[in-house]
Homo-oligomer: A and B are copies of this chain.
Amino acid sequence: MMTLADIAALAEVSESTASRALRDNPVVNKETRLKVQQIAQQYQFNVNPTARSLRTQKSYTIAVIILFDAKSQQAISDPFLLEILGVIADELTHKGYDMLLSTSKTKDKDWKTYYIDAKRADGLIIIGQGEHDQRIEQLSHSKVPFVVWGASSGHDSFTVVGSQNRSGAEAAVSHLIAQGCTHIAFLGDYRHNEIEQRYLGYQDALQKAGLALNADYELITDFTAQDGYLKTQQQLFPLLPELDGIFAASDAIALGAMKALQEHGVQVPQQLAVAGFDDIAMSAYCSPALTTVKQDTINGGKLLVSKLLQQMDGEQAESELLPVRLLTRQSSARG
């Protein structure tokens, strides 16, 4: 392995000069710079990031923390997660950062101590705030640069990037209403921040249409197809003659619900229309294809990264909610 000293020797300059030359510091003579760079290239030299890290106190690494729900041990919508993770990874690589991934199952190290103080990472991206999280709140009182994917309360003390869950949900439910639904159930766990927004959007739509809210129609449901299936059987079947629409807080839930309905002989969408949220890969290919709301994962990932880097540069970064898109498919096509 070559070290900076070797390169310096080869170029017949001091280590200091070599170091500066490599980083293209204009204080060193242009010719010298080029010579050093050329030699470094030729010998395939790369600075040792550990040594650099130690000296500069920066790691050029970002930690991405995926929060799992304490109870269900499940992250929000798996497929969505992998997508945004991919985007973040690409984006970070592109900016010259490495990505440390941690899937936090609650009981966990103290992020600030472990990542920032220990210089394992220069900043944090936290995905899925779930229910109001103590630790995130705490972080915001420190100087740690971090961004969160989730729901904005409108006056957060930290930077949030997320989807316009509320208006997205409203659009979906309004669409159901436009299709003639008048008794629409909500499936999802509104104790979860993002889902709460979707729940509010659901209410917005009902209210705008002058439809009554009905507590019987609001089912707390985990993120899984399984729970969507079960809750539908247990709590929606009794309401069936009247119930004519379901808005599920995630596609997984929606698919579970549809399964239950189909087994029970309910015609979707004729007797009952269904809409979900996420547009997971399967949604277009189940029967009937699922009407859903698609999040802008690509811009989401990009924004998370750029806002984090902004913070690391000492700038302020505002929260931002991205527009979503309603995709109407067969599951809501009544007449």
Contact = CB atoms under 8 A, between A and B. Distances in A.
B118 A46 contact: yes
A252 B79 CA distance: 12
A98 B64 CA distance: 12
Number of copies of this kind of chain in the complex: 2
Interface of A: 1, 44, 46, 48-51, 53-54, 59, 61, 64, 78-79, 81-82, 85-86, 89-90, 93, 98-103, 105, 113-114, 117-120, 224-226, 228-229, 252, 255-256, 258-259, 262-263, 280-282, 284-287, 289
A274 to B, nearest CB: 13
B287 A259 contact: yes
B252 A281 contact: yes
Contacts of A225: 281-282, 284-285
21 contacts: A1-B117, A44-B113, A46-B114, A48-B118, A49-B120, A50-B50, A50-B54, A50-B59, A51-B54, A64-B101, A81-B82, A82-B82, A85-B101, A89-B101, A98-B120, A100-B101, A225-B281, A225-B282, A255-B286, A280-B282, A282-B286
A-side interface mostly: helix
Nearest to A251: B282
